[in-house]
Amino acid sequence: MLTFRDLKSFVTVIDSGSFSQAAKELALSQPTVSAHINSLEDELSLQLVLRSTKSSTATEAGKLLYTYAKQVLALMDKAEIDLRTFSLKNDNTLRIAVSTIPALYFLPDSLPQLQETFPDLSYDIIETDSTGAAAAVFEHRADLAIVGTKLEYEGLLFTKIAEESLLLIAPPQEPYLSAVGIVNPNNLANWPFIRREEGSGTWLESYNFFNSYNIDPEKLNTVAKVNGTSMALHSVKGGLGYTLLSEQAAKPYIERGEVIDLKSDSADLKRHFWLVTPSDRPGTPALRFFTALVKKRKTSYQ
C-alpha cells in the first residue's frame, strides 16, 4: 500500500535532487528517507529514483508516480486547511503560546484590548520556553506564539515586535562588586555561571554575547542549569553565581539591592521578541485582530 509518508519523502527527494537535502527538509535521517523510497519501490516492484553521487532523479516510472503524488499531497494539504478552517470558525478559544517574559510583560497589556472587541473569546495560554512556544504553533497546538528568539521553522512567520536589554547580574558580594563595569573574558569564563534550559530564548541569545568575548558557552563554569526566569533570579540572589537575564525581570531585584548589574556595555546584550504565526493556515477574526494589534504596538522594553 502506498502511504502518505512514503509519497512525501519521494516528492521531496525529486524536488530537492538529493536524499541528504530531502532528509534535512523533512527533519528526518537520511537512512529513514532511503527506507521510505525503498518501501515504495518494493511495493510497486519498480525503480523510481536514479541514484548517483551528484543527484537523484526520477526514472520514467518515477515521473509518472511523481505527477500523481504531487496531486495527492496537494489534496491532503487542502483537506487539512479546509478542516482547520471549519474548526477555527467553530472555536471561541484563542490558543497563545508564550515564553516567560512575554507572558509577564506583554500579554497583560494586550489581552484586555482584544477582549473589548471579542467579548465571547476565551484564552488557552501555554507558558513554556521560546523553543516550546514556537513548536506549539508548528504542531498546531497553538494559534500564535510570542518568543524571545528567532528560530528556524518551515511554515512559520516570525515578525519582530519588541526589543529589550539583557543584563549580566550577580550576587551583591565579592568578587562581583569590584568587577562592576569591568567585565572581562577571564571572569566570565571562570565565575560560577547559572545557565537557563536549552530551549530558553535568553540562553539562545546569550551565545552571541559569549562569542563576542571568544568564549565557548558550552565551556563556561556552569554550576546549575535552571528552568525559568524566577529560578535563575533566586539562584543569583542566593549567591550561587552570575547569569544573563531580562532587564524587565531583573530590575526590581536590582532596585532592592538583592542582585547587582555588572554593567557590561556589550552591544550583544540586546534581543528581540517575535510574534510567531503560521504562514500557511487561515486564522479567525480574533487571531487576525490580535496579530494586527501586536504588530501595531511594536515597542521597546528598555
Mean pLDDT (whole number) for 32-38? 92
Choose the final residue of a domain: 83, 116, 150.
83
Condensed to tens digits (0 to 9), the pLDDT of residues 125-149 reads 998 888 889 999 988 899 889 998 8
User: Does the pLDDT value for residue 302 go beyond 50?
Assistant: no
Q: Output 267 or 109, whichever has higher pLDDT.
A: 109
**CA separation for the pair 155, 124 (Å, rounded):** 22
pLDDT reported for residue 202? 85
Give the pLDDT confidence of 177-226 residue by residue, as tens digits: 999 988 888 999 999 999 988 888 888 888 888 888 899 988 999 999 99
- Comparing 63-67, 80-84, 109-113, the range with the smallest average pLDDT is 80-84
Say yes or no to pLDDT of 26 above 90. Answer: no
Whether residue 267 sits in one domain with residue 237: yes
- 237-240: list long-range contacts, CB under 8 Å, 24+ apart: 237/171, 238/171, 239/171, 239/173, 240/171, 240/192, 240/194
Which comes out higher in pLDDT, residue 112 or 80?
Answer: 112
Q: Which residue has the higher pLDDT, 106 or 166?
A: 166
Contact call for residues 67 and 74 (beta carbons, < 8 A): no
What mean pLDDT is predicted for residues 260-276? Answer: 81
Q: What is the CATH number of the domain that holds 286?
A: 3.40.190.10
Phi/psi for 268 (5° steps) reads -85, 0
* Structure confidence at residue 10 (pLDDT): 93
285 lies in the same domain as 295 = yes
pLDDT of residue 290: 77
Task: Please tell me whether residues 208 and 223 are part of one structural domain.
Answer: yes
By CB atoms closer than 10 A (0-12, 13-18, 19+), residue 267 is exposed
* Same domain? 139 vs 284: yes
pLDDT of 259 above 80: yes
Q: Specify the number of domains making up the chain.
A: 3
Residue 279 reports pLDDT greater than 90: no
Q: Which amino acid is at 131?
A: T
pTM of the model: 0.60
The better pLDDT of the pair 173, 1 is held by 173
132 and 279 in a single domain? The answer is: yes
Clarify whether residues 201 and 259 are in a common domain: yes
C-alpha cell at 266: 556589550
Same domain for 101 and 32, yes or no, is no
Q: Is the pLDDT of residue 56 over 50?
A: yes
Strands 56-58 and 49-51 come out as antiparallel
User: Does residue 283 surpass a pLDDT of 50?
Assistant: yes
Do residues 262 and 188 share a domain?
yes
Mean pLDDT of 233-261: 94
What's the confidence (pLDDT) of residue 152?
A: 82
The pairing of strands 270-278 and 93-98 is unpaired
Domain containing 289: what range? 89-161+273-300
